[in-house]
């Protein structure tokens, strides 16, 4: 299975913020949308960074409640690893494991076209394995 199949099922909407917005805005977005990360966009809509709940927790440990007024640029990861629609689930799993993160923005020609989380990958991988097991059971039953 490829990233394109995941995007087809979940859609291409990605929550984004600008680097000069506050972490308070990010916290509200994460809570409202029930997500774990937002992509930071440049004015051109290219990817400038990513900020996840882990970054917020790190900032809270360091700055306490003042965190909410700080700009996103202070907390975001700038070197963002991305994937493409043609990548396989196995490629995504190894990229997430190696990088120790749970989100991969999807890029096409330098433009953000979606985002895949570890939850999406696990959900589709489990469905794939169940389908394979069911096909195998049918094959054995008909032999
Ligand atoms: P996460 O597991 O996604 O909550 O992220 C853990 C850490 O990795 C945080 O510091 C994120 O900013 C960072 N991170 C998340 N996704 C990516 C990514 N695709 N590329 C680089 N860093 C990331």
Domain span at residue 132 reads 3-142
Give the domain CATH number at 13. 3.10.580.10
Atom of ligand 1 nearest to the CA of 105: 19
pTM of the predicted model as reported, rounded to 2 decimal places: 0.92
85, 57 Cβ separation under 8 angstroms:
no
**Separation CA 2–CA 116 (nearest Å):** 11
At 105, the pLDDT band (50, 70, 90 cuts) reads very high
Atom of ligand 1 nearest to the CA of 82: 19
Residues flanking ligand 1, CB < 6 Å:
36-37, 50-55, 77, 80-81, 99, 101-104
77, 50 Cβ separation under 8 angstroms:
yes
Substitution site in 77, 96, 116 for ligand 1 pocket (most atoms within 8 Å of beta carbon): 77
**Separation CA 56–CA 138 (nearest Å):** 49
For residue 43, pLDDT beyond 90: no
Render the burial of 65-78: b for 16+ CB within 10 Å, e for the rest.
Answer: eebbeeebbebbbe
For residue 128, pLDDT beyond 90: no
If you measure from the C-alpha of residue 132 to the centroid of ligand 1, how many angstroms do you get, rounded to a whole number?
31
What's the pLDDT tens digit per position in 14-24?
Answer: 999 999 999 99
Question: How many domains is the chain built from?
Answer: 1
For residue 4, pLDDT beyond 90: yes
């Amino acid at each position: 299975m490829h990233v394109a199949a995941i995007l087809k099922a979940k859609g291409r909407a990605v929550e984004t913020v600008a680097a000069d917005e506050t972490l308070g805005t990010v916290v509200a977005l994460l809570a409202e949308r029930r997500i774990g990360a937002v992509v930071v966009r440049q004015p051109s809509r290219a990817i400038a960074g990513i900020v996840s709940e882990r970054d917020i927790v790190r900032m809270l440990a360091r700055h306490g409640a003042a965190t909410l007024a700080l700009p996103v640029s202070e907390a975001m990861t700038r070197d963002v690893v991305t994937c493409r629609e043609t990548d396989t689930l196995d490629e995504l799993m190894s990229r997430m494991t190696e990088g120790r993160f749970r989100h991969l923005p999807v890029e096409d020609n330098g433009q953000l076209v979606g985002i895949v989380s570890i939850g999406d990958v696990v959900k589709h991988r489990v469905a794939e394995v169940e389908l394979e097991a069911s096909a195998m059971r049918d094959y054995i039953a008909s032999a």
